[in-house]
Amino acid sequence: MTTYRPVWAEIDLDAIRANVRTLAGVASPAALMTVVKADGYGHGAVPAARAALDAGAQWLGVALVEEGAELRAAGIDARVLVLSEPPPAAPAVVALGLRPVAYTRPGIDALAKAVADSGAEPLPVHLKVDTGMHRVGCTAADACALAETITARDELRLEGVLTHFAVADEPDDPYTSEQLDRFEAALDDLRGAGVEFDMVHAANSAALLTFTDRARFDLVRCGIAAYGVPPAPSLAGRVPLRPAMALKARVSHVKRLPAGARVSYGLRYTTPAEGTVATVPIGYADGVPRALSASGGAVLVGGRRHPIAGTVTMDQLMVDMGDTPVAVGDEVVLLGRDGDAEITADEWADRLGTIAYEIVCGIGRRVPRSYG
């Protein structure tokens, strides 16, 4: 898409590479999967995947078959795991050479039929066991029967067994250890029944940083940490990570307003003194949350913080510059560093009562990405 608006997100691929190398070192001897679902957590799935593979990731993870198709269309032939069962898309999974997660009999049957119809080689499948997240996955009681269903089908091969943690980003919560207990018991049952599989995986970014020795198994699935964002603020600093995304724009309009002027929709912001208000051509349609101003949100101009003035609108927001000189074309940093000052996705998340994942994933596709 040709763009004319002075708004962009800078994606530092060297930061992704550095983060992946760091995480791979922590995970070793387990292999590292970099999860690139949700367009690489807003960073761009294909560039992020290539950077991660350059830095030593051995697997990629996606949520949707469509996301796997995008990687294949870009010429990426790495091992790609589809993290949720994809029965309607089973033929595409086979055609694209993706590795599916499965956890129901209909899902397993659909995958086997797709292989049989295509005449392809046996498809590697990963069986997901629900140990307490209660989103998707089979029960521990059903794991043996489903695993045997997979191994009984000539079209399929049970490559892996996995689970997912609910509160690994809260290291003091004993629930993760309870999930590990359930998972290890399920693995013992599978092995006791003579079921063979190549690998086991459970840890996400948070579990890698908090349960390194026990949850590592054969493969670690890192998503948010690969992009330089800690899985939770309390885990910041566990390993050195560099944020890979900066969100920037340029001032499009300036005006001088008297003290007491009321700004933007709802007239909820009142200028405390005479000063300059700068308009920036980015808004909630681009991923800047509408409520950010009401929660004390700010931007950086010239290395200094200035408050967002009034409600963020769909395509624009205003900034109270006070008496600080500003001109059309001046750079505005919404996320990232400017001199010694920095605004992070975690800061936005804390102000808005959400998580940094939602912030970076929410930067819209109409914001062009530049890569360096």
Local structure of 150: helix, strand or coil: helix
**Joined tokens for residue 171:** 């290291």
Pick the catalytic residue from 37, 248, 269, 284. 37
Pick the catalytic residue from 128, 175, 255, 265. 265
Single-letter amino acid code for the residue at 44 = G
Q: Are 64 and 82 in contact (CB under 8 A)?
A: yes
Single-letter amino acid code for the residue at 351 = R
Whether 4 is a known active-site residue: answer no
Q: Which run of H or E residues covers position 326? A: none
Nearest to 125 by CA among 205, 149, 223, 166: 149
**What is the rounded distance in angstroms from the CA atom of residue 52 to the CA atom of residue 40?**
11
| Residues constituting the chain | 372
**Could you tell me which residues come within 8 angstroms of residue 56 by beta carbon, excluding any fewer than 6 positions away?**
20, 21, 24, 32
Whether 265 is a known active-site residue: answer yes
Local structure of 19: helix, strand or coil: helix
Query: Catalytic site residues?
Result: 37, 265
